[in-house]
Amino acid sequence: MASKSNYIQNVTLIGGSGSIGSHILTHLLTNPNQKITVLTRSTSTATFPPSPNLLIKKVDYTNEQDLISALQGTHFLIITLSARAPPTLHPTIVRAAGKAKIPYIMPNHYGFGLGARAGGLANEPTLAAFKTYIADVEREEEMSYVVLVCSFWYEFSLGMGEEWFGFDIPGRRVVFYDEGVQRVCTTTWERCGRAVAGLLGLPVEREGQRGEVGYVLSDFKNKGVYVKSFLVSQREMLDSLHRVLGTADADWQIEYQGSGERHAQGLEEWGRGEAKGFAKAMYARVFFESGEGDYATGGEMHDGVLGLPSEDLDEATRRAVGMVEGGFGVKKQLE
């Protein structure tokens, strides 16, 4: 740490106007003792909330020296990138962060468990990018990663379309994986933002006796911070939609498809260059009855450590419905 303080003081965020990045920024700005820098492309027209603790820097991501200069003095770097970002961008940022001597980085890994807690998902081809993000950091000396393990984003996944959580909300149609009762972890964007802010509000190192109670940031060096909003099945999601929309099963077209069959189908479509096949395969795999989509049962969770409140499923569903009614969905996202 460049600072003598035992708390993170200088945070840099890449992707602060994006879906998860904007929520992270909102909650980081609630800490008056932190200076937040948001890096944006030199051509970006994104706007950000006014705050005396917020600095916006426009950078040329193809110019390493420009990037290194913008990252100087950062204690913790958060990377949030679009799925459409070029694959060279993440390693470029991490290399520049290494040269800027940044001690902590949250890579663009917002997904599933690490190591043994990944289970069979560790070898899933649609999730392979997560491993490369961590490998980017591991190649840098004197830099530690902290991964936010949050699984699929709830509102996004419910609203995007049938290839994601299985729901076509405007068309009142759902495809249940197997019987639709397999529960998986899922997290709202709001909770992700709160989690990152809570994490960066912890002391960096444990002061006093080694046995002192309480978590510190360094406890999460090269590990995951595990959070979730809900452990929920597709059946429970549909019941929530009924409560929000005032519908019943009779108002929906309900279909069933084996998760294994759907996974194979998605991989085949992805291999043909169909973008939706990627989502179909990835989501179907997480809903396998082998249960890897549930990292909460039997595993340590950190929601309480970070002071995260409980959430209401129907409220989150209502937000997803509002997004869809506002035009959100696969067609818009893939344009």
pLDDT digits (tens, 9 = 90+) for 237-256: 999 999 999 999 999 999 99
Mean pLDDT, to the nearest integer, of 53-64? 96
Residues of the chain with CATH 3.40.50.720: 10-150+188-226
**pLDDT of residue 222 exceeding 50:** yes
Residues of the chain with CATH 3.90.25.10: 153-187+230-333
pLDDT band at 26 (very low <50, low <70, confident <90, very high): very high
> Tell me, what DSSP letter sits at residue 30?
T
Query: 257 or 1: which carries more pLDDT confidence?
Result: 257
The CATH fold assigned to 153-187+230-333 is: UDP-galactose 4-epimerase; domain 1 (3.90.25)
* Separation CA 254–CA 68 (nearest Å): 52
CA distances from 324 to 157, 167, 171, 292 (A): 11, 11, 11, 28
Mean pLDDT, to the nearest integer, of 150-159? 98
For 90-135, write each residue's pLDDT tens digit.
999 999 999 999 999 999 999 999 999 999 999 999 999 999 999 9
* Separation CA 254–CA 125 (nearest Å): 29
Mean pLDDT, to the nearest integer, of 155-160? 98
**pLDDT of residue 334 exceeding 50:** no
**pLDDT of residue 259 exceeding 80:** yes
Domain 10-150+188-226 has CATH 3.40.50.720: yes
Q: What is the Cα gyration radius of the chain?
A: 20
**pLDDT of residue 40 exceeding 90:** yes
* Percent residues over pLDDT 90 in the chain: 93
Instruction: Provide the pLDDT for residue 1.
Output: 45
**pLDDT of residue 211 exceeding 80:** no
Which pTM value belongs to this model?
0.94
For 268-284, write each residue's pLDDT tens digit.
999 999 999 999 999 99
* Separation CA 87–CA 76 (nearest Å): 22
User: How does the average pLDDT of the chain come out, rounded?
Assistant: 95
